[in-house]
Amino acid sequence: MVKSDVILGLQWGDEGKGKIVDCLSMRNQYDGTIRFQGGANAGHTLEFDNSKVVLHIIPSNIFQKGTQSIIGNGVVLDPIIFMQEILDLLTKFPQFSIDELLKKIIISKNAHIILPSHKLLDRYQEEKKGKNRCGTTLKGIGPTYGDKIHRIGFRVEEIKEKDFEEKAKKLYYEHLSTISSKFPEMVFDLDIKILFQQWLDALQFLKKLPIIDTAMYLHSAINDGKFYLGEGAQGTFLDIDFGTYPMVTASNTTIGGFVSGTGLNHKNIRKVYGLFKAYTTRVGEGPFPTELFDRTGELIQKKGNEYGSTTGRPRRCGWLDLVMLKYACLLNGIDELIISKADVLNSINGIKVCVAYKNDYHFPDEKAKPIYQKVRGWKSLINKNGKLSKGFSTYIKLIEEYLGIPITIISTGPDRKDIIWK
């Protein structure tokens, strides 16, 4: 029985999953890719043939012909952003037909729907927290998962029910009245009736897609010999349980999220790939032991174009933290490692890697003070003979030995072509 691989981010997200999913899909010939948690808070970037695409909800294998893009039950789906994403793809890539796209994408009937009022709640809750805010993407992720846990949210399958509009309107206005009563100083700067209507229109679009029991579908496909890839969103330390709570997202970004967000079980997992950047970044608030506040940090931010692909916010930058990565590998049962953006460190002097913390913290904590090992840098990743340069291969060896897991894929730039399969 062929099974499923999973790819997970080992840091705070933005490790470059979009590109790797695209490349792995080509290489391993998966029959489909499954998004299993999060929503439009993710921004997965793909670059090829001089085009750049940022996907938020659509799985990153969308450009792989003959494969399926599955949105699992663990996802929270914003119908407005989703529809816009599909329409943008059609405009940018006229080779796609709408029929082709609509046949390629399958949605779990159990995925939850984001209402416009979830986004408003997100905004107001963040404003209310003031300096303790998490720095969310304001996409309504937390409030939607909140309603799921409170058992008052809506699953995608419900949009086909006759009284759905009425039920949704009730929840929408309940959210709005919560906002008005809890945050009386807040004023709505949007036309709430138009907002709801836009959302209803987007639901009509959503109805055109297959909305099914994706868990059953996947099990039966796997029985028939099909092979899938689970595409994680965000990263290990944004996990609601294992991340730097409360500065985290609202879903399980670690391996358990794959099981609960697809309905596949642990026996269906063949291999877990762990993806990390050659340095560390973080968007939003929260602890970050190896953060750089100097010109090197600014240089990495600039060279690495470290600005959020969903919100455009500058990402905080710092050195690679092996203590964090070790914990992430343990949590996720990583089989193979993938390193991205090492080219950003080309010609940077005085590269350091965190190998321990001064105090007893093993988890990234505000109080954890890193102990660094200095690393000999490199000018380029590849030498004249087409082999990994000495400096870079020493870096790779240090990471592999520390983590006890091989690095099998090296991403050397943003394009599909910039990849080394070791």
Decide if 44 is catalytic: yes
Kindly indicate which of the ranges 8-16, 108-116, 324-332, 350-358 contains the residues binding ligand IMP, using the contact rule CB under 6 A.
Answer: 8-16
- Residues in 63-82 that interact with ligand IMP by CB under 6 A: none
Decide if 418 is catalytic: no
Other beta carbons within 10 angstroms of residue 186's beta carbon come to 14
Q: How far is the CB of 281 from ligand IMP (least distance, A)?
A: 8
Render the burial of 362-371: b for 16+ CB within 10 Å, e for the rest: eebeeebebe
Q: How far is the CB of 244 from ligand IMP (least distance, A)?
A: 9
Q: How far is the CB of 290 from ligand IMP (least distance, A)?
A: 17
Identify which of residues 53 and 211 has a Cβ nearer to ligand IMP in the complex: 53
* Residue ranges with strand state E in 243-397: 269-277, 280-282, 316-318, 320-321, 336-340, 352-357, 370-374
Specify which residues 301 forms β-bridges with: none
Q: How far is the CB of 49 from ligand IMP (least distance, A)?
A: 25
Kindly indicate which of the ranges 12-20, 62-70, 320-328, 362-370 contains the residues binding ligand IMP, using the contact rule CB under 6 A.
Answer: 12-20
Q: Which of 22, 44, 118, 239 is catalytic?
A: 44
Is 41 near ligand IMP (CB under 6 A)?
yes
Kindly indicate which of the ranges 23-31, 232-240, 295-303, 353-361 contains the residues binding ligand IMP, using the contact rule CB under 6 A.
Answer: 232-240
Spell out the residues 6+ positions from residue 366 whose beta carbon is closer than 8 angstroms to its own.
Answer: 287
Report angle CA 135, 138, 144 to the nearest 5 degrees.
Answer: 115
Specify which residues 273 forms β-bridges with: 7, 336
DSSP 349-371: SS-EEEEEESSS--S--TT--EE
Figure out which of the listed residues 139, 175, 277, 316 binds ligand IMP, where binding follows CB under 6 A.
139
Is 249 near ligand IMP (CB under 6 A)?
yes
Is 146 near ligand IMP (CB under 6 A)?
no
349 burial (CB, 10 Å; 0-12 / 13-18 / 19+) is: exposed
Is 261 near ligand IMP (CB under 6 A)?
no
Q: How far apart are CA 127 and CA 185, in angstroms?
A: 11
If you ran DSSP here, which 8-state letter would residue 299 be given?
H
Contact between 247 and 135 (Cβ < 8 Å) = yes
Amino acid residing at 208: K
Identify which of residues 233 and 375 has a Cβ nearer to ligand IMP in the complex: 233
Specify which residues 34 forms β-bridges with: 70, 230
Kindly indicate which of the ranges 11-19, 96-104, 272-280, 293-301 contains the residues binding ligand IMP, using the contact rule CB under 6 A.
Answer: 11-19
- Residues in 200-229 that interact with ligand IMP by CB under 6 A: none
Identify which of residues 94 and 130 has a Cβ nearer to ligand IMP in the complex: 130
Q: How far is the CB of 133 from ligand IMP (least distance, A)?
A: 9
Figure out which of the listed residues 2, 54, 133, 135 binds ligand IMP, where binding follows CB under 6 A.
135
Figure out which of the listed residues 16, 18, 116, 142 binds ligand IMP, where binding follows CB under 6 A.
142
Spell out the residues 6+ positions from residue 287 whose beta carbon is closer than 8 angstroms to its own.
Answer: 244, 247, 364, 365, 366, 368
**Chain residues in the site for ligand IMP (CB under 6 A):** 12-14, 41-43, 134-137, 139, 141-142, 233-234, 238, 247, 249-250, 283-284
Known catalytic residues? 14, 44
